[in-house]
Amino acid sequence: MTEIDPRQDAAQDASPRREASARLDVDGVVGSEAQLREAMDPANQSLTDALRLSFRVLQVAIIVLAVLFLFSGFRTVGNGEGGVATVWGEISDPAGLEPGLATNWPPPVGDFVLFKADGRSVTDNNAFVSLAQIAHGQERSIQKAVVTDRLKPERDGSFLTVGGEIGHIRVSATYAVADPARFLESVGDREADALVRLALQRAVIQVGASHTLQDLRDTITPDLLKSMLRDRTQAMLEAASTGLMVTSIEMSQSPLPPAAIQQDFESYSRVRQEVAADIEQARQDAQETLLAAAGPGHEALAALIDEYERAWAQGDTGAAEAVLARMDEAFEQSDVTGNVARVIDSARRHRIGIDQTLGRDARLFAGLQQAYQANPQSVIARRWLETIGRIYGRPDVELMQLPEGLGALELNITSSQVIKDLRRTMRLDRIDSEAWQRGFTGSALDQFQDESEIKMDAGGRQLAIDEKGRVKGMREKD
């Protein structure tokens, strides 16, 4: 039997012990080893069962970990998200990931880098407005600026325009990640907003520096201004190879002058708009006047008139005559209408009338002159007979024959009633004709008036016919 060291036994006795699960009693020397093995079999069996159970649990855990390890190479990309897959830290596909289920090598071989791709937005961080406007609002800041407050460059934000004018504006930008690989290589998710904000602020400064404040407020439309800011911002992002794309620009405040002069500036803008409206109305009136004067061909006629005046001022008679000839040709064109065409038509009719009256008499005189020079007595006799014939041929002429040798004889002859009525009618017609001809002292334009020229206070041009057939002015009393 093995001896036991008393010191070891004493040390074991001093340490706390748990209650024994098995008790071995050996009371003999012969067969003690066999009995010891027989006594140890239940403990070994329990230990074997415990180890076997632990191994199975470990196997299940290993399988679960292996499955989890394999499934770690799958990732779901949501709508509005973007990203890339990496293998040993390098981007495997520069085109990036599409929304949906994405696969890759499990870590640490592969990995996913995801970020928000669409609908990202930044503001200009109030870089171009005054501190008073931020604190008190637009209306209150104007009142304070007029009374006490003033713009301080070291404190208040603003931008400069052409000519050194100061302006205020508030803008924001919405952007998206168009190239994920370039975005992650050059910018990164954390610095994206700050970079776009700087590009937006720089775009405002550049656009303002190339226009006047009046242009930004009145000439350039809000949509055009947004487009200009977007193009400038996008150009800066592309120059930095960021992979970002600006989708829209919004203005929460349009360009404004400093608050201290804003009220006067608004009044000035209104006056400018009124002046612009008056100028436009004057242009329309001028256009209508020109169209009424010469119709669609007024531009060509005006150019010829200017050319004629220049030639006349330079004393070039030949050039002036040539321009007049071209003007005559232009008057014959069909697009020349209006008052000019009416005046020309009136002049032509007047010329035709002269040709038919004075011209006919002139031609008759020329023909009689030659015959008179050849035989004056014959011409006089023929003309005398023609005159007598015209007189006797009048319908109101009465022929009477008296016997010769009556001497001094007084006759009381009464004309027929038919002749009297005819003479009275002819006299009235002559009076009407003479009155009508006296009215035509000018051109046709002086006689035939437009409807708009006939006013109620111009009684001389307004006539009426009464029930007796008499013509009189409308203001004349019966």
How far is 237 from 221, CA to CA, in rounded Å? 25
370-389 average pLDDT score: 86
Query: Which pTM value belongs to this model?
Result: 0.46
- Look-up of token digits 């024994």: 20
41 or 299: which leads in pLDDT: 299
- Give the homologous superfamily in CATH for domain 120-257: Band 7 domain (3.30.479.30)
Cα angle, residue 339 at apex, residues 337 and 341 outer, rounded to 5°: 45
Q: What pLDDT sits at residue 464?
A: 57
- pLDDT band for position 171 (50/70/90)? very high
Question: Is a pLDDT exceeding 70 seen at residue 296?
Answer: yes
**Is a pLDDT exceeding 80 seen at residue 429?**
yes
Mean pLDDT of the region 183-197:
89
Assess whether pLDDT exceeds 70 at residue 7: no
Q: Kindly report which listed range (5-14, 85-94, 263-272) carries the lowest average pLDDT score.
A: 5-14
Residue ranges covered by each domain of the chain: 74-116, 120-257, 274-356
User: pLDDT at position 86, please?
Assistant: 75
Q: Note the pLDDT tens digit of each residue in 99-136.
A: 777 766 677 766 777 888 888 999 999 899 877 776 66
Q: What is the 8-class DSSP label of residue 405?
A: T
**End-to-end Cα, the chain, rounded Å:** 173
Helix (H, G, I), strand (E, B) or coil at 103: strand
Going from the C-alpha of 227 to that of each of 113, 123, 234, 239, the distances in angstroms are 33, 16, 10, 18
- Asked if 183 and 191 touch (Cβ cutoff 8 Å), the reply is no
pLDDT of 257-284, one tens digit each?
Answer: 877 676 666 666 676 678 788 898 998 8
Q: What integer pLDDT is reported at residue 66 of this predicted model?
A: 65
Q: Which two tokens stand for residue 53?
A: 């159970």
Supply φ then ψ for residue 247, to 5 degrees.
-90, -35
* pLDDT for the residue 138: 62
